[in-house]
Amino acid sequence: MVRLNKDIRKRDYNQMTNHMKDLSQEIKFYHKCYIRGIKHVTSIAKSKDHQLVALASFSGFIEFWNILQHEKIFTLITKPETPLSVAISSCSTMGICGLDSGFIKIWDLKTRLVTKSKKLHNKDVTCLAISDDSSFIVSGSDDTKIKIWYLVEKKKAALVGGHFSKINSIVLTNDNKKAISASMDKTVRVWDLEKLCEERVLRRELQVAYFAFLSKNNEFAVAVFKKFIVVLDFESSQCISYLRVKSDIILSACLTENDEVVVAGYISGKVRYWNILEKRIITRFTISNIKFIDPIDNFLLIVHNPISGIPTELWKYREKKIEFSFPGHIIPASLLIRSPDRKIAVSFAPDRTIRIWDLINNQELHSIKEVYTKTNALAISPDNSHIFATTKTTISIWNLQTYRKINKIEDQNIQIKCISVTSNNKYYITGLSNGHILLWTIDNNTPIAVLTEHRRKIKSIVTTEDGRIMISTSDDYRMGVWDLEKLTLVCMLPKHKGKISAARFCKRNKYLLVTTMKNTIRVWRIIVNKQCYYKETKIK
């Protein structure tokens, strides 16, 4: 298991959140369909045969890839929790992840269901290690504690010990009787997992300890600090080799399978393959914006800094060239919608791309490039024939079969806030910032009707399955019920106590669910030309 330098991970996350402030309400309703690339990677784990690789990301997903065939097998969803550490059992049947909530979850990789879940820590679970026989899990956390969770024996989870600061990494010995941990308290410690106590301090330095690795035969341990790498005899704790970095900082490091080479990635972008016993560099090259690295046979998996906009890559380090780039948006998607039949999803990200996804086969169908960066709304026609994308002043329409733009409407006098398509494909409807609602047809470049009952910007627009009734929500705390056949207002529902955040029809359009910013949900039963009933409940 490979983990990111803690300081840099926090810094990247703070920068990343600036891109995520304008997420649409669609993501809240359809977060299970939120498809994006595996950027913002927090942890990497690989199976014993090096065929299966798991990548956990800040977006709340864990993606499992066949690294040899360069294809994604499946995705596990942890949202709204964030996976910060991940591990795969030796038989590749079980996946484990540590979450920011302090929970550890175990998945059966065949059924892809959660089999066990337990809260062991009070803060982020930053590192994990699982025994070869999958009988127990050892975890480290930001709460400075190391705990063991017995999966086979009927024992309670126990406290092994703790550092004086946050724990960065943890590994097990071959006999699974001891563990080695590296911490922000500048120490690398050895723990006895049978007696549940600290055995000794393997190394103490004046710099933060980021990583610790063990050779296969447990003859020596490798401790990675901020500016140097130390190779130690595991039994005597004596220094065998010492590699110092002069004017750089080690960002990520890992030990290859032959136990002879340490691969180090530096904050300057340098990658060095060190023969730790001979103290010489085998190969070197430079890759910009490295976040962390992990060797897989003859390849090198490189995760880039998310702010750089470079996707995760698989390199042939000997030829020094890219073998494969993991697909997806370069930066997090800010908009996502799905088709009514739930077969297709469309996402938009500020990398100026709209991507169409097949939700059944879990793959990308097509990407539309050179889209406006200020796209604020998306819509799919119910027959999956067209995609609509809007900015404040433009409406763009693409044919979903040919992926070609068929129309573009631009008007500097309007400010579009939302867009929707009627279920019968008769109209597409836009809501404006001044409270007006415009009805359009695909063939016309001018609106066929303007509805002007609202006083403030339109928040959302939904229609019934037959396309006869439209519900509009606005920042004036009101909802309008419209007859789309007569293009008239049926009624204006009573004001809500807070601004309306979203509205959805459910149970074959018998009920309308409305959520507000005041933590309330109202359930409306819409009966045209009769009184509208509702009941209000508080969100727990």
- pLDDT tens, position by position, 129-171: 999 999 999 999 999 999 999 998 878 888 898 899 999 899 9
Residue after which a domain boundary falls, among 209, 229, 244: 244
User: Percent of the chain beyond pLDDT 90?
Assistant: 16
Dump pLDDT digits (tens) for 217-243: 788 888 888 888 888 888 888 888 888
Residue after which a domain boundary falls, among 211, 244, 277: 244
Q: What is the mean pLDDT of the chain?
A: 78
- pLDDT of 29 reads 28
- pLDDT of 22 reads 32
Which of the two residues, 526 and 249, has the higher pLDDT score?
249
335 within some domain: no
Least Cα distance to 313 among 44, 21, 133, 28 occurs for 44
Range in 135-144, 363-372, 440-449 with the lowest mean pLDDT: 363-372
The amino acid present at 475, given as its one-letter code, is D
8 A C-beta contact, residue 312 and residue 39: yes
User: Percent of the chain beyond pLDDT 70?
Assistant: 78
Answer whether 0.85 is exceeded by the pTM. no
Q: Which residue has the tokens 């008239």?
A: 488
346 within some domain: no
Q: Which residue has the tokens 């941990």?
A: 181
Range in 37-41, 266-270, 503-507 with the lowest mean pLDDT: 37-41
Edge-to-edge strands, sheet with 113-119? 83-88, 94-99, 103-108, 113-119
251 within some domain: no
Residue after which a domain boundary falls, among 194, 224, 244: 244
515 within some domain: yes
Looking at residues 97-126, what average pLDDT do you find? 92
The amino acid present at 257, given as its one-letter code, is E
- pLDDT of 526 reads 63
DSSP secondary-structure letter at 391?
-
438 within some domain: yes
- pLDDT of 480 reads 84
Hey, what's the torsion of the CAs at 141, 147, 151, 152, to 10 degrees? 160
Cβ count near 494 (within 10 Å): 11
Element (H, E) at 295: strand 290-296
- pLDDT of 211 reads 76
41 within some domain: no
- Interatomic CA distance for residues 459 and 503, integer angstroms: 9
- pLDDT of 157 reads 87
115 within some domain: no
Is pLDDT of 451 > 50?
A: yes
105 within some domain: no
DSSP secondary-structure letter at 307?
G
Least Cα distance to 145 among 131, 129, 124, 117 occurs for 124
Boundaries of domain holding 152: 120-244
Number of domains in the chain: 2
Which CATH number covers residue 131? 2.130.10.10
